[in-house]
A and B are shown apart, each in its own frame.
Chain A
Amino acid sequence: MTGEEQELINRYIYEVTKRVRQEQRREIEMELEELIADMAEENTVEEVLKKLGDPAKFAEKYREDSHYVIGPEYYDNYLWVMKIVLACTWGGLLVAMLVECSIVNPENVLYELAKFMGELISASFAAFGTVTFIFALMERQKIHVDLKQEKAWTPKMLSPIPQKAARISRGDCIAGIIFIILFGCVMAFAPQLIGIYRISRGDEIVSVSVLNLKSWDVILPFLLVALGVGLIDEVVRLILGCYCKVVMYCSIFTNIVQIGFGFLVLKVLPIWNIDFVQELKQQITLVGELKLEKAFLKYWNGSFFSDIILLIMLVACFIEVGITVYKTLRYGRNSF
């Protein structure tokens, strides 16, 4: 056996064993060395390796677990959700950029365009990763559930087909997903757009931001997690398509998390622009005030505003969870 031939063998064994599980690697390595040495007594090393075939395919035969990150059952939905999420993300960023270009920062269009491209790339990666992660999680969970069935299957176990009342409208889910993505994009890439706009004397549009942009890099992750959790809920509803225990538990869990994070973001973290009143006053002294703003200034109270938003959130969450639980208990019997 020449050095070259040994090198070829080593490479082959490496290519096979790197694809098998860590625990089996050493032993399979020894097996292959034994096998190839035996076969090489009658044939050239090249013939032997050719007979053994593609190392990737060889390694695959040693594998026992599921090969899929996302299996055939969920794949169609996965592609579909991915398209929607990416479309919304790009749409949201596009709108934000157009607003920046035309209203807020019209001198620097090239800069805005460049920024847009950069944001598009990073947002796309984030969206892709999140959707893939959610679906991979569901795939593992489904396998976990499938494998856990201990009783032998009988036709009695067939659950009734979900009635119309138990179905969850796809349109609702899509609307929810779109809203969450757009809102997320604005919050992530253009939070400065949320504020009071005024047209100043020189035909310029100025805005006073309502949000606390200085602390935004601390606040944003919490917001995004809350939105992400909401997204998971919508995606689960979309895939399962009808009210059932999983949808119910998911809804309860995600809404609790959202309220928790909502409370955190609105009451604990400094979300409102501390200098809001001052900046608004500044604008007014420059430009003159409107009646609306006078009233606004008088009543502006960040904490109170937070309370109102939180209250609205709580009511909305209660209503959603309430409907979900009711419909599940009433129409979603016996289903997974």
Chain B
Amino acid sequence: MEEKKDLMTSLKSELRRGTLILSVLSQLREEKYGYALVQSLEEIGVDIDPNTLYPLLRRLEKQGLLCSQWEVGESKPRKYYKRTPFGEEIFLGLKEQWERLSENITGILKEEER
């Protein structure tokens, strides 16, 4: 019984993982800092662990999709992330891909129900 639950959980999370980058990019038109991003994603229903998000943000920055800046204004230093123009491009491409995929799958599932 436990194994079935575990499998379900892991397959569901695999499904979610594919859309993670799209979700993250979608929130970064304006600059945001790490934890604020975690919270805003939670609000729209995307559950992501900080220990997954932070390395992901680094990776996206390394790939040129995001740029970052440390702001030392307030009480503690904060690292803000934002989409780069290249990140913008990628985001639009991914968005289009998602819409197409979504259409396809909805179609397939409708067929399935018949």
Contact = CB atoms under 8 A, between A and B. Distances in A.
For the complex of A and B, list the 3 residue pairs with the smallest distance between their C-beta atoms, beginning with the closest. A38-B35, A61-B55, A58-B51
Interface string A60-71: 011010000000
5 contacts: A31-B79, A32-B54, A34-B79, A35-B50, A52-B50
A33 B50 CA distance: 13
Contacts, number: 41
Contacts of B79: 30-31, 34
Given A39-B35, A62-B58, A34 B78 contact: yes
Contacts of A58: 51
B97 to A, nearest CB: 22
A53 B52 CA distance: 11
A37 interface: yes
Contacts of B35: 34-35, 38-39
Interface of A: 24, 30-35, 37-39, 51-53, 57-58, 61-62, 64
B77 interface: yes
B76 A33 contact: yes
A33 B33 CA distance: 13
B34 A34 contact: yes
Interface in B69-114: 70, 76-79
A30 B79 CA distance: 9
Interface residues of B, number: 17
Nearest to A27: B79
B53 to A, nearest CB: 9
Contact of A31 (B34, B36, B52, B59): B34
B81 to A, nearest CB: 11
Contact of B54 (A31, A33, A37, A57): A31
Nearest to A20: B55
Nearest to A37: B76
Contacts of A53: 49, 51
Contacts of A52: 49-51
Given A31-B79, A37-B76, A61 B52 contact: yes
A52 B51 CA distance: 6
Among A31, A32, A57, max chain B CB count under 10 A is at A31
Given A39-B35, A62-B58, A34 B76 contact: yes
A34 B51 contact: no
Nearest to A33: B76
A53 B55 CA distance: 14
B33 A34 contact: yes
Contacts of A24: 58
B68 to A, nearest CB: 9
Given A38-B36, A62-B58, 19 more contacts: A24-B58, A30-B77, A30-B79, A31-B34, A31-B79, A34-B76, A34-B77, A34-B78, A35-B50, A37-B76, A38-B34, A38-B35, A39-B35, A51-B49, A52-B49, A52-B50, A52-B51, A58-B51, A61-B51
